[in-house]
Amino acid sequence: MLEHKDGQQKKEVKPPLLVIKNLSKSYIPGVLAVDDVNLTVNKGEIFALLGSSGCGKSTLLRMLAGFEKPTSGKIILDGQDLSNVPPYKRPVNMMFQSYALFPHMTVWNNIAFGLKQKHMPKDEIKENVEQMLALVHMEEFADRKPHQLSGGQRQRVALARSLATHPKLLLLDEPMGALDKKLRTKMQLELVDIIEKVGVTCIMVTHDQQEAMTMAERVAIMDCGEFLQVGDPEEIYENPNCRFTAEFIGSVNIFDGVLGENGSDFMYVECPALQNKIYIDAGAAIADGMKLSVAIRPEKITLSKEKPQQECNFEEGIVDNIAYMGDVSIYLIKLQSGQIVRTTLPNVDRFRKNQPTWDDKVFISWEPDSCIVLTI
């Protein structure tokens, strides 16, 4: 999610545009590619479906476009039930992963294609195409063929083409999938900029969590055809509701343990892999002795050479490996139990003086509120 200065304003409640009700799809009887999905997307929202390949996110997107017929359930866009509307009649346009630009047509004709299907008068088509070309800054390339464009330019043409007919819903299938990493970051911001300028509601599919978090206002984590968690990027990163989400988004250290002493606003977790207990400053409505996991993000773990002055939430270990990433270094710390803990250390000092090195004895520690308790 892009942080806007006028973020407060953006939070205002928008009316729902797309309602998905109990949507399921199975290709093989008994195997559900999409399993009873319910979702409401608001007008003007950028929504991301995030999951690894085969999780059903593409099937869901293709059902929205009309390329796949739902086995059961409903898709309602702006009050209209789309279930039996063929793709060419839906006010939904898709930007394909491969962009699917027509290779035998110029950029201009590619963008004009959808407008021509609407039998728009010629001068109106011209006006619209020029507007779209200006929107994506491709005016000079109007007469080029797709193969004469770079990857980024092709993406912009594909976006212009899918926006030209002013769809109510824009679908992006792995929008950055065909771009190299450097260009990706640039285009992510540019794409969001254009989409927000047009104000179109947008659903994107991606397997890249960074992309989803940069571009989308809300993200749904999908696995095995189901939504595991739906929320804004911060919520999903800081408060994952299950082990899969915690592990899928970002890196995480997970300690399996059992619930020990606990009260209404605190609990202790005893982990076989740790010598000290974990203290969490929040209560849990679960029974004593229950198995649970504690997840801690690497950047919330402090690394030091001196023993921390606290009774809980610290461990002793040795530096097993260091990966220098430029802005930070990733430290892999081997605990006495053998478990590897991942932590990061910002490279504030250019020559990294006084930083622990391989095989150094170190201590890791964390704050009680950094711990995420996971029961599933």
Partner 1 sequence: MKLKTSRLRRLHFRGSSCVIGAPYLWTILFFFIPFLIIFKISFADVSDTSQPPYSDLTSYEDNHVNIALNVGNYLDLFRCEDEEDCNVWKIDYDFLNFESVGLNIRDSLKGFFDAISTEFHVTIYIEAFWNSVKIAAVSTLICLLIGYPMAWSIAHSSQAMRSVLLMLVILPSWTSFLIRVYAWIGLLKPNGTINNVLMWFGIIHEPLNMMHTSFAVYIGVVYAYLPFMIMPLYTAISRVDNSLIEAAEDLGAKPFTILTKILLPLTSGGMIAGSMLVFIPAVGEYIIPELLGGPYNILIGQQLWIDFSNNHDWPKAAAIAVAMLLFLLVPIIWYFKQQKNEGVSK
Contact residue for partner 1 among 57, 154, 161, 184 (CB under 8 A): 161
Q: In what order do the strands lie in the sheet with 72-77?
A: 34-42, 16-25, 72-77, 80-81
Rule CB under 8 A: which of 62-91 touch partner 1?
65-67, 86-90
Told to check if 334 binds partner 1 by CB under 8 A, we report: no
Measured between alpha carbons, how far is 75 from 142 in angstroms, rounded to an integer? 36
Q: What is the closest distance, in whole angstroms, from the C-beta atom of residue 102 to partner 1 in the complex?
A: 6
Told to check if 358 binds partner 1 by CB under 8 A, we report: no
With beta carbons less than 8 A apart as the criterion, state whether 56 and 39 touch.
no
Q: What is the closest distance, in whole angstroms, from the C-beta atom of residue 96 to partner 1 in the complex?
A: 5
With beta carbons less than 8 A apart as the criterion, state whether 75 and 34 touch.
no
Measured between alpha carbons, how far is 69 from 95 in angstroms, rounded to an integer? 19
Tokens linked to 67? 């390329």
With beta carbons less than 8 A apart as the criterion, state whether 33 and 59 touch.
yes
What angle do helix axes 122-135 and 107-117 make, rounded to 10 degrees? 130
Told to check if 202 binds partner 1 by CB under 8 A, we report: no
Nearer to partner 1 by Cβ, of 198 and 312: the residue is 198
Stretch that binds partner 1, among 25-33, 110-118, 185-193, 349-357 (CB under 8 A): 110-118
With beta carbons less than 8 A apart as the criterion, state whether 359 and 322 touch.
no
Told to check if 147 binds partner 1 by CB under 8 A, we report: yes
* Residue type (1 letter), 342: R
Told to check if 118 binds partner 1 by CB under 8 A, we report: yes
Measured between alpha carbons, how far is 236 from 214 in angstroms, rounded to an integer? 13
Cα atoms in the 13 Å half-sphere on the side-chain side of 80: 12
Stretch that binds partner 1, among 30-38, 98-106, 135-143, 262-270 (CB under 8 A): 98-106
Told to check if 201 binds partner 1 by CB under 8 A, we report: no
Q: What is the closest distance, in whole angstroms, from the C-beta atom of residue 65 to partner 1 in the complex?
A: 6
Told to check if 361 binds partner 1 by CB under 8 A, we report: no
Told to check if 52 binds partner 1 by CB under 8 A, we report: no
Told to check if 4 binds partner 1 by CB under 8 A, we report: no
Instruction: Quote the DSSP letter at residue 97.
Output: T
Q: What is the closest distance, in whole angstroms, from the C-beta atom of residue 164 to partner 1 in the complex?
A: 8
Nearer to partner 1 by Cβ, of 5 and 147: the residue is 147
Question: Which residues touch 213 (CB under 8 Å, ≥6 apart)?
Answer: 1, 219, 233, 237, 249
Q: What is the closest distance, in whole angstroms, from the C-beta atom of residue 83 to partner 1 in the complex?
A: 17
Contact positions vs partner 1 (CB under 8 A): 65-67, 86-90, 92-94, 96-98, 100-104, 113-114, 117-118, 145, 147, 161-162, 165
